[in-house]
Chains A and B, each alone.
Chain A
């Protein structure tokens, strides 16, 4: 049994209600030890609620929660072996950096000298050795966030929880800090649960992503799984950009579906889509724009944006408006040009309508 190991998290039929509002419908999930798992989804989807349920800051209305195989459903946050990094950092402004990092140890009555030594180790781990005597207000945003991480990991928690830890940092710093968090997590072999609404961030740091929507799980998988094999139109649209086009399925055989789109047949890699009507997922990168007359969907460029490394087009076709990204060409198409859109069937996917 894997989930009796230290650091595993398991939800069994967990429901969370605030009065009449259901924040979480019957949730089952299992997180393996040592993995960084991201809870991803639009705002209000229940991802933060899930995190707070793991932390013990909220109590489940129904169901059971296990951490490291132990039933912690009725334990409050104080008694769970998890620690959390907050969106607002939540550093105690009246304590020095060292006191902040040692706080969790001192409330557990660890002798002060030992607590300080461990805090120093923690600060070194996040690259802030020597900053112990400062107050949080004397540090930059990125440094404060690293103090928050150090404060959480010196307790050697079974699970490290991160609630949108990067949302208060500017874009460049964000990439840097997320790499650091990922490295520390891998080096220490920590189980980490990471909440974000930024799909790029989720894909960059995660072993696994749990995409949530409408208070339930939409899909679980590695970043590649989610991008390449979305199981629903929502996932296809939420993970990366996608054009969703209605199509008919003629037959499904040998892991491939024959789809009819605008009178043309395409053989698209697919799992078992049984419905006759479905949607084809066309990634903007996987569409070839050519001069009119070439094979493909007939269309007209309604918008063209030059972005330096690429050009983004919006093309009106018979199957709808398509968003296309193409490399910079010598002679880009102009607004109003008649074009044809070539579909690479191998890169297309089929999801239920």
Chain B
């Protein structure tokens, strides 16, 4: 362990002396920073008057001396822990106080010319120093207690806490602070009237012609969508699990659709069908002489699009719930002379209740966090997620208003999230056990079955039509006016000039950026998510509940809020990331992390804990155990996490739209731009290409998973022959 700490400290010292402490204008790999005459590294910066950089280097030196001179392990560990901790603390404080621009804490504490001039954001040198100090601290922590802790586990916990702290909590705190900001300072008294203003919480629409506040709009939409998706999802789930419906495989397709559909695509397809110039609208207009209206652009349009978008998610959740009702309970009910309706009404349905509530809350959170559909369709019905966007990018940029709206949105999603955790966490009637439960689920009674078919089948048909629109719409010249077949949109977006070997399509840039960034983010997401899952399932440590809660928290933070908080937090030193591709990667990693965590927890729970224990009693440490036992057995879960985070990174729009830059544009942001310009054909063609790309990724993953076996049956036959 002493050796490991020394290696980290040496690395930290080397970067303190050799690497540029701050971000350099030309990037780390451009050697200009060495020769431009500015004292760049931590050491030379300190000597050149930036004395506030000294504590980090000093902590590294002192920790190294402590490691080399103190023989007693526990004392050595404790002193090193204190030193490294102090070093980190001073690094953070100087980073927050001495800034070139942006918010500055403790303004009166340090003054002076050098300090007021500020410094750039932290760069490679600072980053590696911080990591070195962090690991020196965590490894020491693992050695300083009574029991000899596991350095790998403690370090992983420390790293994840640090990352979640910096990239989830730090930005959210920025939003909270900004919401209290008024001209020339901060004010608590100003906050409340602004937060509770009728623009946000007004109920005018209930009593008169005035419109309601945006938060009320969001809330209403969320409740409606939650209810609607739950009912539709339940109908699908019942058909899927409790009837002999023939086309179940087609229903399965529904479960994949939401994963691969960019969020605004449904809205686009709806415009093609029901918009003012939509097919259906024109058909009825011709038939009955109705006026072609813009009814779609408002509550009903958004609601309709959200039902289409989120019903598959409810279906996915409710399949598990419906299957989780043990057949033996239904059989018990039937042997007690209940008929099929009574069995469903008094046994199955109550058992599903927590699952239904869960599906509702999920639909609610998805709905109010949804950005794509309201952006495309909600012009007459403003909701929080889009209002936040317009407060940032609109004609009058008002970050304080955005912050207040973000808090309103956050408080809604958080309440739902906390309700889900506290209330449903304790009330699960899951009846799936390790024991094989034979027996058959009771069939549905005829009326209920008819009802399910009546609800679900037209809906499924509509979904299919909407999706075929996406393909069809991309091949016509101008929807609603000129329906002649064309490849124009694809050529404009993805044209290739073979003679000059140039990609002439307008979409190539953002397409490649998207693929690159998603491919970098996916493995990082998988690593962070799965290591968190490992800690949660396999390790015991103090504060585990809080740790779990904070890692799942980013699930409840809507993308719009994340996006706003990132530009507020990372536009200035100490961590200056806006406009880079790094910020896009980071936002994907921490937004999709809960998915990786959940997948990892599910997969890890299926691995017998005694496998780990066997490895450990055989003399392997945690790291070796993870590398040689857990990882190889988690293959499918890793692939699933990889694919899922890859795909989610491609379809994400809400957070991304704040963070893209001219240099690093993403596909979804590009498409939204085209939609705003009215170029529907191009937007839909691009969406279709994205969907095909993601389908390919998913199929590829399933092929890879399919080939994995733990039995080599061929070998058994060979051995049998040999014997």
Given the interface pairs A59-B147, A77-B616, A107-B618, the reply to whether A137 lies near B608 with Cβ below 8 Å is no
Task: Looking at the assembled complex, report how far the CB atom of A89 sits from the nearest CB atom of chain B, in whole angstroms.
Answer: 8
Residues of A within 8 A of B613 (CB): 55, 57, 77, 84, 86, 90
Q: Does A259 sit within 8 A of B, measured CB to CB?
A: no
**Lowest 9 CB-CB distances: which A-B pairs, in order?**
A104-B618, A90-B614, A90-B610, A107-B620, A84-B617, A86-B610, A77-B616, A59-B147, A94-B632
A-B contact count (CB 8 A): 95
Task: Looking at the assembled complex, report how far the CB atom of A171 sits from the nearest CB atom of chain B, in whole angstroms.
Answer: 21
| CB-CB nearest in chain B for A18 | B540
Other-chain contact of B147, A76, A103, A135 (Cβ < 8 Å): A76
Distance A79 CA – B619 CA, assembled complex (angstroms): 6
- B interface bracket (residues with beta carbon within 8 Å of A): 20 to 34
On whether the beta carbons of A76 and B616 are closer than 8 Å, the reply is: yes
Q: Does A75 sit within 8 A of B, measured CB to CB?
A: yes
Residues of B within 8 A of A77 (CB): 613, 616-617
Q: Does B395 sit within 8 A of A, measured CB to CB?
A: no
Distance A107 CA – B629 CA, assembled complex (angstroms): 12
Q: Does A288 sit within 8 A of B, measured CB to CB?
A: no
**8 Å CB contacts to B: which residues of A73-93?**
74-80, 82-84, 86-88, 90-93
| CB-CB nearest in chain B for A157 | B617
Task: Looking at the assembled complex, report how far the CB atom of B456 sits from the nearest CB atom of chain A, in whole angstroms.
Answer: 40
Other-chain contact of B712, A74, A80, A135 (Cβ < 8 Å): A135
Distance A142 CA – B146 CA, assembled complex (angstroms): 41
Residues of A within 8 A of B484 (CB): none
| CB-CB nearest in chain B for A148 | B614
Given the interface pairs A94-B710, A155-B618, the reply to whether A76 lies near B150 with Cβ below 8 Å is yes
On whether the beta carbons of B608 and A90 are closer than 8 Å, the reply is: yes
On whether the beta carbons of B608 and A155 are closer than 8 Å, the reply is: no
On whether the beta carbons of A137 and B628 are closer than 8 Å, the reply is: no
Task: Looking at the assembled complex, report how far the CB atom of A343 sits from the nearest CB atom of chain B, in whole angstroms.
Answer: 46
Distance A310 CA – B618 CA, assembled complex (angstroms): 47
Other-chain contact of A78, B619, B710, B715, B716 (Cβ < 8 Å): B619
On whether the beta carbons of B710 and A104 are closer than 8 Å, the reply is: no
In terms of DSSP, what is the predominant structure of the interface of chain B?
A: helix
Q: Does A98 sit within 8 A of B, measured CB to CB?
A: no
Given the interface pairs A74-B146, A107-B624, the reply to whether A92 lies near B617 with Cβ below 8 Å is no
Residues of B within 8 A of A83 (CB): 617-619
Q: Does B615 sit within 8 A of A, measured CB to CB?
A: yes
Residues of B within 8 A of A135 (CB): 710-712, 715
Per-position binary interface string of chain B over residues 624-646, scored 1 when its CB falls under 8 Å from any chain A CB and 0 otherwise: 10001100110000000000000
Q: Does A272 sit within 8 A of B, measured CB to CB?
A: no
Residues of B in contact with A (beta carbons under 8 Å apart): 146-150, 608, 610-611, 613-622, 624, 628-629, 632-633, 710-712, 715-716, 719
Task: Looking at the assembled complex, report how far the CB atom of B93 sits from the nearest CB atom of chain A, in whole angstroms.
Answer: 35
Residues of A within 8 A of B617 (CB): 55-57, 77, 80, 82-84, 152, 161
Q: Does A151 sit within 8 A of B, measured CB to CB?
A: yes
Distance A94 CA – B712 CA, assembled complex (angstroms): 10
Distance A83 CA – B610 CA, assembled complex (angstroms): 13
Other-chain contact of B633, A57, A87, A93, A148 (Cβ < 8 Å): A93
User: How many chain-A residues does the 8 Å CB contact rule pick out?
Assistant: 36
Other-chain contact of A74, B148, B616, B628 (Cβ < 8 Å): B148
Residues of A within 8 A of B715 (CB): 133-135, 138
| CB-CB nearest in chain A for B148 | A74
| CB-CB nearest in chain B for A83 | B617
Distance A75 CA – B620 CA, assembled complex (angstroms): 13
Q: Does A108 sit within 8 A of B, measured CB to CB?
A: yes
Task: Looking at the assembled complex, report how far the CB atom of A197 sits from the nearest CB atom of chain B, in whole angstroms.
Answer: 17
| CB-CB nearest in chain A for B620 | A107
Given the interface pairs A56-B617, A77-B617, A86-B613, the reply to whether A134 lies near B711 with Cβ below 8 Å is no
Distance A76 CA – B613 CA, assembled complex (angstroms): 11
Per-position binary interface string of chain A over residues 42-69, scored 1 when its CB falls under 8 Å from any chain B CB and 0 otherwise: 0000000000000111010000000000
Residues of A within 8 A of B147 (CB): 59, 74, 76
On whether the beta carbons of A151 and B710 are closer than 8 Å, the reply is: no
| CB-CB nearest in chain B for A59 | B147
Distance A104 CA – B628 CA, assembled complex (angstroms): 11
Distance A79 CA – B716 CA, assembled complex (angstroms): 37
Residues of A within 8 A of B712 (CB): 135, 138
On whether the beta carbons of A134 and B719 are closer than 8 Å, the reply is: yes
Given the interface pairs A92-B629, A138-B715, the reply to whether A75 lies near B710 with Cβ below 8 Å is no
Distance A88 CA – B613 CA, assembled complex (angstroms): 11
Distance A108 CA – B148 CA, assembled complex (angstroms): 19
On whether the beta carbons of B616 and A78 are closer than 8 Å, the reply is: yes
Q: Which of A77, A79, A91, A155 has the most chain B CB within a 10 Å cutoff? A: A77
